[in-house]
Amino acid sequence: MFFILFKTRMLSLFSSFFRVSSSKRKMTPLTYAGIAVVAVYVLGSLIFSNIAMLKAIGGQLIPAGLASTYFAVIGLILFSLGFVGSIFVAQMQLFQARDNDLLLSMPIKPMAILASRIAMIISLVYIYQVIFVIPAIYVYIKVAGFKLLNCIIFIVLCLILPLMTTSLSSLAGWGTATLSARMRNSRIISVIAIFLFIGVYMLISFRMQHYMNVIIQKGNTIIAAIKKVFYPMYLFADAAGEGNIINALIFIALSVAVFLIVCFLIARKFLKITSLGQNVYKKEYKKTQIKVGNKKSALLKKDLSYFTNTIGYLTNAGLGSVFLVVFGVFTIFGRDIINTQLLQSFGEGFSPAMIAALAIGFCGAVNMVTAPAISLESKYMSIIKSLPIASIDVLMTKVKLHLLVTQPFIFVAALLSTFGLKLTPVEFVLIWAETGLLNLLMGFAGLIINLRFPKFDWINETLVVKQSMSTFLTMMVGMGAALLPLFGNMIAAEYLDLQFIMFIFVAIYGIASFVLYRVLKTWGVRVYESY
C-alpha cells in the first residue's frame, strides 16, 4: 500500500505538466518536445549560474587547503534550500491535505499514509538539491582534481542529508499546522512568515558578493564556528573535504537517528493533528445587513475573497506586488546605484526611466493570478456555469482580479521611481502605460494558457499555483514579454529616441492585449463552456 500511495502522490505532483484537461485529449509529441526543451533550458541555466557562483568560492578555498569550508558552504546551501522549500509542503501534505479524511476512512494504515507523504517530501528535496550538487562536484573536480574517495563521500552524504532536512521541516510544519488550527489570525501569520523567508532570501541575494568575500577571507573561522553551532554540518564538511570516513559514518548515523525519532513522534500524534479542523478557532457571528449587488461585482468579490483567504494562492501569485513596492522604495534610497552601476552595466543606450520600466515590468510579471484561476475553480465550476452570467463575464472577472492585485502597486512603483530617479512627467506616463499594459497582457495570457492546460484533479491549491503547466508557461511568457524592451532597446537605441522606443512598446503591449482579449472572447469562451 505504501508504494501505491507514494506513486499516486508523485503522479499527482507531476501529472499537471502533462495533463491537458478533464477530457481524454492528449498533447502531441511536438508539445512534449517543447516542454522538454524548456525544462532542460531552465535546469541548464540554473546549473551554469551556480557553477559560476561556486567557482568563485571554490577557486579560492580549495587551493588554500580549505576544501572543508567549501563543502560546508555547499552543505548549508543544500540544507537551507531543502528546509525552506519543504516546510510549507510538509505542513500541507502531512497535516492539512484535503484528502486526509478520505484516506483515513479507508482500510489503510495511517503509517502508510504518513510514510508515503514523507517519501514524497524527501523526493522533492532531492530535486531541489540537483541544481547545486552537480555544480558543486564539477567545481571541486575542476579545481582539486578527481579524488574518488571525496567525491563518493560527498554524493553519499547528499543522499543522506535530506533525511535530516525533512525531519526538521516536518517538525516545523507540525508546529505551524498545530498553531494555525488554534490561532485567530492564522492566515495572516502564515503570510507574514512566508514573506519573512522571502525577505531574508532577498537580503542574502543582494549581499551575496559581500558574503562570498567573507567566506573566502575567513575560511578557518567559519568552519570552527560551524563546528560549535551546527555540529552535523561540520561532520558533513569534514567528511567530504578531508575524505574522513569516520565522520561520514557518524553523520549518516546521526541523520538516520534524527529521522527515525521525528517519524516516531509524528506517527504518534498524526491522527490527532489531522483530526483537527481547518481552524479550531470559531469566529463569532455578527448580524449584518445583506445588500443586493451587481452580478459582476459579486463575482469579483467572491474571487478576491478566495484569493486573500488561500495562503498558497496569495503568496505565490501575488508576490510581485511586494517586489513592486520594494523596488519603488529602493529607487529612493538606492538612487546612486541605479544611476551609476546599473547604467554602466546596461550601457549608454539606456536611461533611468527605461531601467525602471524594465524592473517594474519584470516585478509585475511575477504576479500570475489568472494562470491557475480556472483550475482552482474546478470544484465550483458547475455552480458558476449554472448562474445567469455570461461566460465572458466570468472569464473577465479573473482578469479584473489580476489587475486589482497588481495595477495599484505598479502605479505606486512608477510614482516612487519618478520621485526617486527625478524623472519627467512624460517618463512617468510612459513607465506607467508600458508596465500597466504589460500586466494586462499577462492577465489575458495566463487565463488563455490555463484554459488550454487546466488541472482539475488537484489535492491542494499550492500544487496548482506552484506546480502546474499553466503557471510554468505563464512564467516563461512573462519573463520573455518583460525582457522584450531590453532587446528592443539594444537594437534600436542608436537610431531612435529612448522615449519613442518606450512608446513603441506601449503600442505593442496594447495591441497584443487587444488580440488576446479577442481570443479569450471567442476561443476562450468555447473552451470554458466545453468543460
- Number of Cβ atoms within 10 Å of the Cβ of 305: 10
Whole-number pLDDT of residue 282: 54
pLDDT of 276 higher than 60 = no
Evaluate whether 139 touches 53 at the Cβ level (below 8 Å).
no
* Average pLDDT of the residues in 6-33: 60
pLDDT band at residue 408 under the 50/70/90 scheme: very high
Give the least confident one: 354-368, 373-387, 449-463.
Answer: 449-463
- Number of Cβ atoms within 10 Å of the Cβ of 310: 18
Whole-number pLDDT of residue 459: 67
- Indicate the angle between helix axes 148-180 and 186-206, nearest 10 degrees: 150
Whole-number pLDDT of residue 118: 83
Cα gap 326→330, rounded to integer Å: 6
pLDDT of 23 higher than 50 = no
Q: Show the cell assigned to 155.
A: 554524493
pLDDT tens-place string over residues 296-334: 888 888 888 888 887 778 878 888 888 898 888 888 887
Over the Cα atoms of the chain, what is R_g? 25
DSSP 139-191: HHHHHH---HHHHHHHHHHHHHHHHHHHHHHHHHHHHHHHHHTT-TTHHHHHH
pLDDT of 24 higher than 50 = no
All residues at 6 or more sequence positions from 530 whose CB lies less than 8 Å from its CB, including other chains: 23
Closest CA to 57 of 44, 47, 43, 72: 72
Widest pairwise Cα distance in the chain: 75
The per-residue b/e assignment along 52-80, b for 16 or more CB within 10 angstroms, e otherwise, is ebbebbbebbbeeebbbbbbbbbbbbbbe
pLDDT of 436 higher than 80 = yes
Cα gap 201→447, rounded to integer Å: 30
All residues at 6 or more sequence positions from 308 whose CB lies less than 8 Å from its CB, including other chains: 314
pTM for this one? 0.67
* Mean pLDDT score across all residues of the chain: 80
Residues of the chain with pLDDT > 70, as a percent, come to 76
Whole-number pLDDT of residue 95: 66
Evaluate whether 59 touches 51 at the Cβ level (below 8 Å).
no
The SS3 of residue 370 is coil
pLDDT tens-place string over residues 27-39: 667 766 776 776 7
pLDDT of 196 higher than 50 = yes
Closest CA to 451 of 369, 337, 375, 399: 375
Whole-number pLDDT of residue 398: 93
DSSP 225-241: HHHHH-HHHHHHHHHHH
CA angle centred on 418, ends 415 and 423, rounded to 5°: 155
Q: Environment class of residue 398 by beta-carbon count within 10 Å: exposed (0-12), middle (13-18) or buried (19+)?
A: buried
pLDDT tens-place string over residues 463-513: 788 777 888 889 888 888 888 888 887 787 777 888 888 899 999 999 999
pLDDT tens-place string over residues 226-250: 888 888 888 999 898 888 899 999 9
pLDDT tens-place string over residues 201-216: 666 655 656 666 666 6
